Amino acid sequence: MIVAAFVDAERAVADWVNSLDGSLVGVGHPLAKGAHLTALRGAASACYALISLLPGSVALGPENPDHRARISASIYGPTKEAATAAAVAYANALLTLDGRRQPMGQAVICLVVDPDSISGPSWAPEPTGPRLLVDADFYLRAA
């Protein structure tokens, strides 16, 4: 019997993004307002990421039942240029998750983000303003 180790992937990825306060998140950085699980209200005065879980599954086989989570980051910003810069910075940050185990909050370890699974940044405007999407497969394990 396989025991799946599903985790709160959205919270884990948001926690990881928000931990990058020296390079990605915070005043003067591309994702100034960080990552959130619910949309911020009003027009974006600075860029932020809305993290969403797409369908995922257990991965890597019965001997190693980790959670493969397809995560979509909707990057919102005050201008297309700012949102694009933030989406590119986020996508590049994903490339650093290349197999070195990375803590994501207190309860999750990221084993890897499959670089071949990264799609975007792609332009997906909304009535509320500029938005770009970056999707990727995260391989996660409960800590």
How do residues 108-132 score in pLDDT, each as one tens digit?
A: 888 888 898 999 899 998 887 899 9
| Residue 135: pLDDT band with limits 50, 70, 90 | very high
Q: Looking at residue 101, which CATH number applies to its domain?
A: 3.30.2000
Residue 4 lies in a domain: no
Rounded CA-CA distance 17/106 in Å is 14
Predicted local distance difference test score (pLDDT) of residue 79: 94
| Residue 11: pLDDT band with limits 50, 70, 90 | very high
Predicted local distance difference test score (pLDDT) of residue 101: 84
Residue 71 lies in a domain: yes
Domain count within the chain: 1
- The answer to whether residues 24 and 13 touch, using CB atoms and an 8 Å cutoff, is no
Q: Report pLDDT digits (tens) over 15-39.
A: 999 999 989 999 999 999 999 999 9
Residue 94 lies in a domain: yes
Residue 18 lies in a domain: yes
User: Nearest CA to 51 among 35, 63, 68?
Assistant: 35
Residue 119 lies in a domain: yes
- Cα 119 to the center of its chain, rounded Å: 12
pLDDT of 1 > 60? The answer is no
Domain of residue 109 covers 9-142
CA distances from 80 to 42, 46, 47, 74 (A): 16, 11, 10, 13
Which tokens hold the place of 110?
Answer: 């990221």
Predicted local distance difference test score (pLDDT) of residue 44: 72
Which segments of 1-143 are extended strands (E)? 35-36, 48-59, 66-76, 102-104, 108-113, 119-123, 131-142
Residue 50 lies in a domain: yes
Q: Report pLDDT digits (tens) over 63-108.
A: 565 778 899 999 999 999 999 999 999 999 999 988 778 888 877 8
Residue 1 lies in a domain: no
Residue 102 lies in a domain: yes
